[in-house]
Amino acid sequence: MNRTFVSKQIKLEILTVCDAPISQPDNLIDSIQLSLLGYDEYEGWCRQLETRLQQIAVQYHTGKQILQGDITANITVDQCINMVV
C-alpha cells in the first residue's frame, strides 16, 4: 500500500462527496476541516464519506474500520486519512 496514493484517493473522495472541483485533489490542505467544504450543512455527506473510506480501507487491506458516526464536519482531511491508513 502506497500511503501517498491512498491519501490522494481519500482526498478525491472528500471532494467528490461534496461536489467540489476534483481536478487537483493533492491541493486539498490536510489541516482543513470538513465543515469548510460544507459537510456541516449535509449530514448525509458524512455518512457517504464513511462508506467510501471503508471501501478504500478494504480495497487496500489497511485493517482499519470506519464506523457510522466516525466522520463529522469537525474533523480534518488529515484525520480522515489517518482513519484509513
* Rounded distance between C-alpha atoms, residue 83 and residue 23, angstroms: 24
| Three-point CA angle 33, 28, 59, nearest 5° | 90
* b/e code 20-46 from CB counts within 10 Å (16+ = b): eeeeebeebeeeeebeebebeeeeebb
Mean pLDDT, to the nearest integer, of 51-78?
A: 97
Q: What is the pLDDT of residue 29?
A: 94
In single-letter form, the type of residue at position 47 comes to: R
Q: How many domains does the chain have?
A: 1
Mean pLDDT, to the nearest integer, of 26-50?
A: 95
Give the domain range for residue 70: 3-84
Please give the residue that has the higher pLDDT: either 27 or 82. 82
**Please, what is the angle between helix 43-59 and helix 77-84, to 10°?**
40
Grid coordinates representing 29 are 490542505
% residues pLDDT > 70 (the chain): 100
Using one digit for the tens of pLDDT, what is the confidence trace for 5-19?
999 999 999 999 999
Report residue 76's pLDDT band, with 50, 70 and 90 as the boundaries: very high
